[in-house]
Amino acid sequence: MDCMLVMGDSYNTDILIVGAGVAGSALAYALGKDGRQVHVIERDLSEPDRIVGELLQPGGYLKLIELGLEDCVEEIDAQQIFGYAIYKDGKSTKLPYPLEGFQSNVAGRSFHNGRFIQRMREKAASLPNVRLEQGTVTSLLEQEGTVQGVNYKTRNGQEMTAYAPLTIVDIPSCFVAMVLENCELPYANHGHVILADPSPILFYPISSTEIPSELYDAFISAIEKGSIRTMPNRSMPASPYPTPGALLLGDAFNMRHPLTGGGMTVALSDIVLLRELLKPLRNLNDASALCKYLESFYTLRKPMASTINTLAGALYKVFSASTDIARNEMRQACFDYLSLGGVFSNGPIALLSGLNPRPLNLVLHFFAVAIYGLGRLALPFPSPKSIFIGSKLILTASSIIFPIMKAEGVVQVLFPITKPAYYKATHAY
């Protein structure tokens, strides 16, 4: 989903986007529909073959509807997802999405990432004011602190100039996956999370025939075929570094652990917000003023982005096996808490799905799990050992969530109410 958005007036282009993944393609269509002249440069316009970006949460699907892109999940054999099933030590619990009050078509979607991206690219390219080009950016053009554009090579090797910088990030770990064909999952149209050792395993349908399943024979068969694949795990909080003439979006700007499948939801939410911020602006040529105006973007995106980012990182740590007894108690407490159903499952799953992006609710549920675990240890009669483990459990919960929140920005996460003064003023460009 990497893309960088650059604004300028050269070559009669209002907006140039580098990267035509989920974020880049959706942004190109959204801004093109608003009448902007958009130029998109993508390194490879062939259908991507990746193992990430295969699950779109219901909150992300709602953003697709806002952008007018909901038909991009049609005709690609996408599967509706209505919730999760979690397995631990032979026990399971079912966690449906709280979809009451939404239209019947609102649900999660899982699919082949490449098919989805191609549909998005086709939709963007169908607009007469959107130009989609294959090329590789080679260098950034910057003058007096303002991004002017980039040099790039076309697919034929011709060197050209256009507006677009590119961001590169480090690789801290890997995500491993495979595709299993003609299998059945215990719960149809649900994602499945196995709390395995050392880390959780995910299963979810991505088409009507290729269904990742826990069935032993299919699992072994896929291994023997050598179809195990890896993709980098990247976690990168969104640190705002406004640069006149440029704005980072997608994975180039903000990444989280892929466990919860929230990346596309965050990216699409950012695009909806950015489109609304840019709508009243008639002229984008004053790079410094525009940069100041868009500072509000970093604050306004916090509720959705930080809720999903924090939950993804925290859940991965809670669900991963550990030799520490307090960590294992936290893991068991989380499973049992979600198994209670009602508000105890609906609340967390609403956060995960992007249907209720409220960071404060996330903190409350996270520590409710820890307190629930403490209660399990203390009842029916507390012992010095159980009190000691319970105290460690609370400390463990704090050591998991607070560093993640600190990286996201505690004040902005919990109290995203202060907008930059420039945004509060009325401007007409």
pLDDT score at 107: 92
Residues in the chain: 429
Q: Which residues contact 64 (CB under 8 A, 6 or more apart)?
A: 26, 56, 70, 72, 73, 268
Contacts of 73 by beta carbon, 8 Å cutoff, 6+ apart: 56, 61, 64, 109, 111, 116, 119
User: Rg of the Cα trace of the chain?
Assistant: 23
Cα 278 from Cα 213, distance rounded (Å): 44
| φ and ψ of 329, to 5 deg | -65, -40
**Cβ-count burial of 153 within 10 angstroms (0-12 exposed, 13-18 middle, 19+ buried)?**
middle
CB 61 within 8 A of CB 108: yes
Q: Identify the pLDDT of residue 421.
A: 33
Whole-angstrom distance, CA of residue 197 vs CA of residue 195: 7
Residue reference for tokens 């076309």: 154
Distance in angstroms (rounded) separating the CA atoms of residues 198 and 415: 35
- Residue 223's pLDDT is 55
The per-residue pLDDT string of the chain (429 residues; one tens digit each, 9 = 90 and over) reads 555 555 544 447 788 788 888 888 999 999 999 998 888 889 889 988 766 557 899 999 999 999 999 999 998 888 899 998 888 888 888 999 999 988 888 999 988 888 999 999 999 999 999 999 998 877 667 777 777 777 788 898 888 887 533 222 223 334 445 555 666 667 677 776 777 666 667 676 766 665 444 445 555 565 566 555 544 444 445 555 666 767 777 655 555 556 677 778 888 998 999 899 888 887 777 777 777 777 788 778 888 888 888 888 888 888 887 888 888 899 999 999 999 999 999 999 999 899 988 888 989 999 999 999 999 888 888 888 888 988 999 999 999 998 888 877 777 666 655 444 333 333 333
pTM, to two decimals = 0.79
What pLDDT shows up at residue 193?
Answer: 73
Q: What is the pLDDT of residue 235?
A: 47
Q: What is the DSSP string of 382-422?
A: --HHHHHHHHHHHHHHHHHHHHHHHHH-HHHHH-TT---HH
Query: What is d(CA 346, CA 64) in angstroms, rounded to the nearest whole number?
Result: 23
Residue whose C-alpha is closest to residue 368's, from 410, 392, 336, 399? 336
Tell the residue number behind the tokens 């215990």, with chain if given. 186
What pLDDT, on a 0 to 100 scale, did the predictor assign at position 409? 73
Which among 53, 20, 3, 249 is positioned nearest to 121, based on CA atoms? 20
Alpha-carbon gap, residue 48 to 245, rounded angstroms: 29
